[in-house]
Amino acid sequence: MQPRIEILKEKKLIGKRLTMSYANNQTADLWRSFMPRRKEVVSNVSTDLISMQVYGNSFNFSQFDLNALFDKWAAVEVSGFTEIPEGMEIFTLVGGMYAVFDYKGLNTDTAIFQYIFGTWFPNSAYAVDQRPHFEVLGEKYKNLDPESEEEIWIPIRKKQSF
């Protein structure tokens, strides 16, 4: 599976976030708290949902630690930050180069990420960049359905040559 390489423009997001680790994954709780309130966000630019991971500088993808903490977001893209529902937060997703993988399958299947980080990156001209990772959950996304489709956006930069 080859990704397409895209240059993302800055996006404004409104949503909810939780700090978690993969060992203590609270993604389902986060989405359960966000989904009933998502219609309170009035400046949406689309019906797509954004599932975003913001990793700290110490997060190491080559020596993966299930207990390493990161911020997980359930969000929507908005045109501006004029009306922010109580209990929600804003996030400006900085633009840049991304590898975009079109994924079809269960959102609980980690094989796609094993492929991306274990096979694709080592054999590509790119390295993981220190920016948020996210998934676009569009109209073809169906939670816990093997026919579900989503886009996986991984921030990249050209590998340094020596």
Torsion, Cα of 18, 91, 143, 115 (10° steps): -90
- What beta strand segments (E) does the chain contain? 4-8, 11-20, 49-55, 70-78, 89-93, 96-104, 126-128, 133-137, 149-158
131 contacts: CB under 8 Å, gap ≥ 6: 94, 96, 155
What's the pLDDT at 80? 95
Domain total of the chain = 1
What's the pLDDT at 34? 98
Tens of pLDDT, residue by residue over 11-61, are 999 999 999 998 899 999 999 999 999 999 999 999 999 999 999 887 877
pLDDT at 162 over 70: no
Tens of pLDDT, residue by residue over 90-129, are 999 999 999 999 999 988 888 898 899 989 999 999 999 9
Q: What CATH number should be reported for the domain holding residue 66?
A: 3.20.80.10
What is the rounded CA–CA span in Å between residue 135 and residue 11?
Answer: 13
DSSP-derived 3-state class of residue 123: helix
Domain that includes residue 145, residue range: 4-158
Tens of pLDDT, residue by residue over 128-155, are 999 999 999 999 999 889 999 999 999 9
What's the pLDDT at 8? 97
Burial (CB < 10 A; 0-12, 13-18, 19+), residue 82, is: exposed
Tens of pLDDT, residue by residue over 70-96, are 999 999 999 999 999 999 999 999 999
What's the pLDDT at 107? 83
